Amino acid sequence: MRRGRRLAVDVGDARIGVASSDPDGMLATPVETVPGRDVPAAQRRLAALVAEYEPLEVVVGLPRSLSGGEGPAAAKVRAFATRLAGNVHPVPVRLVDERMSTVTAAQGMRASGVSAKKGRSRIDQAAAVVILQSALETERTSGGPPGQCVEVVI
């Protein structure tokens, strides 16, 4: 397992959840929810978080269908991740499968007694935590970085 903090991003149309790991890559915790409608402002905020946290890498959840295919949402996330990679270079940005992350996060929040209305602002952070925990587990079991590295377009 590589040593270093990671950031995870759950990209949505309205909100973007952000989570961070500890330097040992053991535990993911929520960081904040970034408004997602103004993409340039969201990109600037994410670049500022990368500068603040100095992560080894940024992990972006790629929404796939249950069959593994990619639709319009995945294309939007790929474009967002490519732009992010250019903004945070030389920190690598990696796309990881995020199937069911929001569902898992919502179930966990409901189980802990958080109402849907109160949880709306935190669900994206919780989904980013789920994405990051999954990526960390993938790296622990495979011995290699998770997902697919995004090419930097300059």
Q: What angle do CA 72, 138, 144 make, to 5 degrees?
A: 105
Instruction: Give the full edge-to-edge strand order of the sheet including 93-97.
Output: 28-35, 15-21, 6-11, 57-62, 93-97, 148-149
In eight-state DSSP terms, residue 3 is -
Nearest to 6 by CA among 44, 62, 61, 54: 54
* Confidence at residue 98, expressed as pLDDT on a 0 to 100 scale: 84
CATH top class, domain 6-147: alpha beta
Block residue for tokens 């397992």: 1
Instruction: Check residue 70 and report its DSSP letter.
Output: -
Mean pLDDT on 43-59: 98
Listed by start position, the domains of the chain span 6-147
pTM over 0.85: yes
pLDDT tens, position by position, 93-142: 999 998 655 556 566 666 767 766 666 668 889 899 999 999 999 999 99
Handedness of CA 70, 73, 79, 82 (dihedral sign): negative
